[in-house]
């Protein structure tokens, strides 16, 4: 079916799928003609069409250039729904609720870090547990859970894992309202009780990067970035806690849809009206997982700071390990956007997509009010990542959203076959990149060739005008689950 889906060209970087059948709105895909050839290799365009059937969806079912096949929604998909008549879909958020990326900058430059790089990566690998189901040294009590669900990243700060200033550089200051312990299953609580402060597996990573190129000196300066500077990218989410919450509520919403007579082309779009009991219960559990994920990334960043202190025998002032920003990319947010010329409150599902708000927007931190929100587009462990900034066009076109990464091009099975017989650790080390992981399998699944070139993805959103390039990051050290 993907091959059959017709796309009408809006401009060189934007295509429209006209409304047909049960679609309530058209689909829109940000891509170049070359990128579309890759996108058509899986069924993600079919998922864009399916999402357009959701009750209450507004304007368009949107896909970013990193789009690829996901659960229900495509990864790289965006849908805003009406609060009164619309639905909330766990598949439109993703299993890893509030998976996201944060960037920490330092005062160090490459020539200072390179001589001790292996020692640094080893220290990071030992301090930050990674891998499927791997627990850490922090064990959460029921009281801890209650506090995390209520306070998010602020709980971590109160325990000594970070500085108050960090909160000013996290979406929504690291706290999402409405979390309720009663909406969460015991199984979810059990799965999450020792996974806080851990990285996870799959495409999650911690990466030591060098600021390799500056595209916009004024913006880079506003974000505290300079050439040859050492930074750290941290990519992870709510671990087994969020995964179990998604699993629990998909089942409940399938029952709701049968009861309410909601018919959609794919049962993976399981959903409930936002104002229904099922919808409200999911949002209460979802909010708890959002706060868990922000807490998780906050603790990991502090472990990272401690690793730098020990290896380089320096203190906080010399390291300058300051958070640039933390962006969420598996989330639903209640925001105000213009629809048909009128401002209305909608629920924006961002599944593998980030907010990208322009300067002056009330939802970005005071420190970035005059420049716009930082946007991060991680690449793969062998190639570049990018820092961008949101623009005014995102509000008109994408509900204030941009892409979240390079986007997979190969399935994990295909990547494993391609990696058979290769020593990917040695290949990457030849490029000056030290990689440590719990197993060879994850590294093979996540090999650079498994992903689109992040620079191509980045150029599409830059040329389309929905974000502007600020700086390029080059990896030199990576830890994987």
Which residues are known catalytic residues? 404
226-250: string of b/e by CB count within 10 Å (b at 16+)? Answer: eeebbbbbbbbbbbbbbbbbbbbbb
Structure tokens at 152: 């998010």
- Tell me which residue of 303, 230, 125 sits closest to 476, measured CA to CA: 230
Using CA atoms in the order 116, 120, 121, 124, what is the torsion angle rounded to 10 degrees? Answer: 180
Task: Decide: 344 and 337 in contact? Cβ < 8 Å.
Answer: yes
- Tell me which residue of 187, 199, 175, 200 sits closest to 244, measured CA to CA: 187
Task: Report how far residue 468's alpha carbon sits from residue 470's, in angstroms, rounded to the nearest whole number.
Answer: 6
Task: Report how far residue 46's alpha carbon sits from residue 399's, in angstroms, rounded to the nearest whole number.
Answer: 21
Provide DSSP, 160-229: TSS-GGGGGGBGGGG--TT--GGGS-HHHHHHHTT-TT---STT-EEEEEEEEEES-HHHHHHTT--TTE
For residue 436, report the phi and psi dihedrals to the nearest 5 degrees.
-125, 135
Using CA atoms in the order 327, 442, 105, 308, what is the torsion angle rounded to 10 degrees? Answer: 140
Task: Report how far residue 443's alpha carbon sits from residue 439's, in angstroms, rounded to the nearest whole number.
Answer: 7
CB atoms within 10 A of CB 142: 10
Rounded to 5°, angle at Cα 210 from 208 and 211: 135
- Tell me which residue of 400, 432, 329 sits closest to 94, measured CA to CA: 329
Q: Would strands 61-68 and 27-30 be described as parallel, antiparallel, or unpaired?
A: parallel
- Tell me which residue of 2, 3, 59, 4 sits closest to 26, measured CA to CA: 59
Rounded to 5°, angle at Cα 329 from 285 and 189: 30
Residue 239 Ramachandran class (φ > 0 left, ψ -120 to 50 alpha, else beta): left
């Amino acid at each position: 079916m993907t091959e059959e889906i017709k796309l009408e060209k809006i401009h060189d970087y934007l295509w429209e799928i006209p409304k047909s059948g049960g679609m309530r709105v058209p689909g829109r895909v940000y891509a170049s003609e070359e990128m579309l050839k890759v996108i058509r290799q899986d069924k993600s365009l079919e998922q864009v069409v399916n999402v357009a059937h959701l009750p209450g969806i507004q304007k368009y079912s949107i896909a970013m250039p990193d789009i690829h096949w996901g659960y229900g929604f495509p990864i790289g998909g965006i849908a805003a729904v009406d609060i009164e008549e619309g639905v909330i879909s766990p598949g439109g958020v993703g299993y890893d609720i509030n998976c996201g990326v944060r960037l920490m900058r330092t005062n160090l430059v490459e020539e200072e870090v390179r001589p001790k790089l292996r020692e640094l990566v080893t220290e990071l690998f030992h301090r930050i547990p990674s891998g499927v189901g791997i627990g850490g040294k922090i064990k959460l009590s029921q009281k801890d859970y209650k506090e995390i669900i209520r306070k998010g990243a602020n709980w971590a700060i109160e325990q000594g894992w970070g500085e108050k200033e960090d909160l000013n550089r996290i979406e929504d200051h690291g706290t999402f309202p409405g979390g309720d312990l009663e909406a969460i299953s015991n199984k979810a609580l059990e799965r999450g009780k020792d996974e806080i402060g851990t990285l996870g597996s799959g495409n999650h990573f911690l990466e030591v990067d060098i600021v390799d190129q500056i595209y916009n000196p004024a913006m880079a300066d506003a974000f505290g970035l300079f050439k040859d500077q050492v930074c750290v990218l941290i990519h992870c989410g709510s671990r087994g806690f969020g995964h179990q919450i998604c699993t629990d509520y998909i089942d409940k919403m399938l029952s709701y849809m049968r009861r309410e007579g909601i018919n959609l082309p794919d049962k993976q779009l399981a959903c409930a009206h936002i104002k229904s009991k099922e919808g409200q219960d999911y949002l209460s559990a979802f909010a708890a997982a959002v706060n868990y994920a922000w807490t998780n990334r906050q603790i990991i960043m502090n472990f990272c700071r401690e690793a730098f202190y020990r290896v380089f025998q320096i203190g906080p002032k010399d390291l300058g390990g300051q958070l640039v920003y933390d962006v969420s990319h598996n989330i639903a947010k209640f925001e105000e956007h213009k629809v048909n010329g009128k401002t209305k409150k909608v629920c924006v599902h961002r599944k593998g997509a980030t907010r990208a708000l322009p300067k002056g927007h009330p939802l970005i931190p005071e420190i970035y009010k005059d420049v716009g929100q930082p946007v991060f587009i991680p690449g793969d462990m062998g190639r570049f990542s990018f820092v961008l900034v949101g623009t005014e066009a995102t509000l008109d076109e994408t509900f204030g959203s941009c892409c979240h990464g390079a986007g997979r091009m190969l399935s994990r099975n295909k990547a494993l076959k391609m990696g058979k017989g290769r020593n990917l650790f040695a290949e990457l080390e030849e490029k000056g990149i030290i990689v440590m992981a719990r197993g060879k399998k994850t590294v093979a699944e996540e090999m650079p060739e498994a992903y689109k070139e992040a620079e191509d993805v980045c150029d599409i959103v830059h040329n389309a005008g929905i974000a502007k390039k600020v700086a390029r990051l080059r990896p030199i050290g990576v830890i994987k689950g």
